[in-house]
Structure 1
Amino acid sequence: MTTAALGAGGVPPMPDRTPKALRAAISQHAPKLLVDFDRHWRRDIADAYDLAPVPAFMARWWGEYALARNPRLEAQVHRLEDGADQEPDYDRAKAMIEEAGRLRRDAAKAEPGQ
């Protein structure tokens, strides 16, 4: 991924859907994820003789980056998750976790360039 202009709200666009482009985007816009991304890559993908794990790897990190590139959305998701952890009412905690999950899934639906 080349240095791309920030999109609406200062959120960088999603990269091409390749491991190399995703790693470059993480490096540039969400460097806090880079160590875990690289560790996961080395552990599960780099020396693999079977490419079957690549789609799952990409799905996970696509979603992680989609969330991390938007600090407001990421903060909202973490507030919901942390709030659910402290919430004594089961139904309210469940609703908070479900909302956090919905936000994560929606973020992960972003397409390249969005």
Structure 2
Amino acid sequence: MTTATPEPGGSVPPMPEYTPKALRAAIAAHTPDLLSDFDDTWRQQIADAYDIAPVPAFMARWWGEYALARDPELDRHVSDLEKRAAEATDAEAARKLLDEASRIRHELREREPGE
């Protein structure tokens, strides 16, 4: 799911305000390859809902996706970990690779606006 669009000059843009609108704007500006999936998921999970209960889960998922995709080097690293895990013939080695990728993704979901 993660696709990175390198920033001119190699800088990582800051995390936006923690709202769906601000997150969508950041995705459109810095990781446009994610925009279609973001919009599709929004329409499927939120737009027609009569209850806002799914919004926190939606935001948590997409906050992490954007946090990773905005950093092309880190995105490549996590993708490499996941690829190596998929190709591993040793279950323990695969687990360690996936644990590392998961740890990185979890840490990214903890980013604050402006970081």
The TM-score with structure 2 as length reference comes to 0.90
Aligned equivalent of 1:66 = 67
Give the deviation of 1:96 after TM superposition. 0.1
Q: Which runs of 5+ in 2 are unaligned?
A: 1-6
Give the deviation of 1:42 after TM superposition. 0.6
State the number of aligned residues: 107
Q: Which runs of 5+ in 1 are unaligned?
A: 1-5
Counterpart code for 1:53:
P
Aligned equivalent of 2:42 = 41
What SS does structure 1 have at the residue aligned with 2:111?
coil
Counterpart code for 2:66:
Y
Residue deviations 1:27-49 (CA, integer Å, cap 9, x gap) = 00011110100000011101211
Match status 1:106 vs 2:101: no
Counterpart-to-counterpart distance in 1, 2:105 and 2:12: 16
After TM superposition, list the pairs within 5 Å mapping 1:1-114 onto structure 2.
10-114=11-115
Which ranges of 4 or more aligned residues in structure 1 deviate by more than 2 Å? Answer: none
Counterpart-to-counterpart distance in 2, 1:112 and 1:49: 28
User: What is the Cα-based RMSD across aligned positions, in Å?
Assistant: 1.1
Q: Which has the higher contact order (CA 8 A, sep 6+)?
A: 2
Residue deviations 1:70-105 (CA, integer Å, cap 9, x gap) = 001110000000000001011101000000000111
Counterpart code for 2:19:
T
Identity %: 59
Give the deviation of 1:109 after TM superposition. 1.1
